[in-house]
Structure 1
Amino acid sequence: MDLLEEYRKANVIFESGDPRRAAQVLEPIVAAEPHNSAVRQLLARAYFNSAQLAGAEAQLRALIEHDPSDHYAHHVLGRTLERGGRFREALPHLRLAAAMKHHQDYREAVQRVETWLGKSDPA
């Protein structure tokens, strides 16, 4: 298997709007190249976009374990946890990403989860 060609194919599939199929193409590449962060990140995004949240979480945690300063992995992990209704677990990752990189999407995610948690806590 030509891993680079398969990665390119998965990227095209993902960009064309079929994240589930992209994940299927990426899974054996990650198995063959477990330390390749670009492949693992694309697999995490494919899982997230196809609502395979457990898979996304596992890939993102592996990315963070490999590189704790990966602000994007923290952000997407936070979004994955948020999407799964795990707001308290999401917030530290979202805050950390926003502290590491000033980005509007990061700030908005923090505000959204903080607002949700504020509304769910009894006054």
Structure 2
Amino acid sequence: MSDSSFAADYEAARERFETGEYAAAAPLFAALVDRSALEPPLHGTTELRLYLARSYYHSAQLSRAEEVLRPMLVDNPDDHYALLLLGRTLQRQSRHDEAKPHLAMAKLLGGYDIDGPELPES
């Protein structure tokens, strides 16, 4: 994989995300995450996985978002935005008790207003 090809694919995925085409962005980010496992990417794997999780979240693919976020938090348990996103993902699945500790840690580490309905921009 060439760095320029990876960068072009990354920009295409980000463009879809930025224009609100989350369902279209998700498979593009998933492919980039898979490719980054084979060769070091231009951008960090954490950033790619977070974009993937956000794409899944915003396109209501909540179980997929959770599948991406849980291993991210094993690798980096103090990632306050990933904690917030996991908490909101669980809330949207009506799993409020499971969401509480993640949201509390997001509030503690990132200063988020966990009572607000919207996710802030990261």
Scaled to the shorter chain, the TM-score interval is: 0.7 to 0.9
Q: Percent identity?
A: 37
Structure richer in helix, relative to its length: 1
Give the aligned residue type for 1:44. A
**Off by >6 Å, runs of 4+ in structure 1:** none
CA drift at 1:3: 1.7
Aligned-partner Cα distance in 2 for 1:41–1:101: 16
Aligned-partner Cα distance in 1 for 2:6–2:81: 24
Match of 1:7 in 2: 10
Match of 1:96 in 2: 105
Runs (5+) with no aligned partner, structure 1: 113-123
Q: CA RMSD in A?
A: 1.5
Structure exhibiting the larger radius of gyration computed from Cα positions:
1
Residues matched between the structures, number: 108
Find out whether 1:107 has 2:110 as its counterpart: no
Aligned-partner Cα distance in 2 for 1:7–1:88: 36
Runs (5+) with no aligned partner, structure 2: 38-43, 118-122
Which structure would you say has the larger RCO, counting Cα contacts within 8 Å and 6 or more residues apart? 2
TM-score, scaled to structure 2: 0.82
Find out whether 1:24 has 2:27 as its counterpart: yes
CA drift at 1:66: 1.1
CA drift at 1:107: 3.1
Aligned-partner Cα distance in 1 for 2:64–2:110: 25
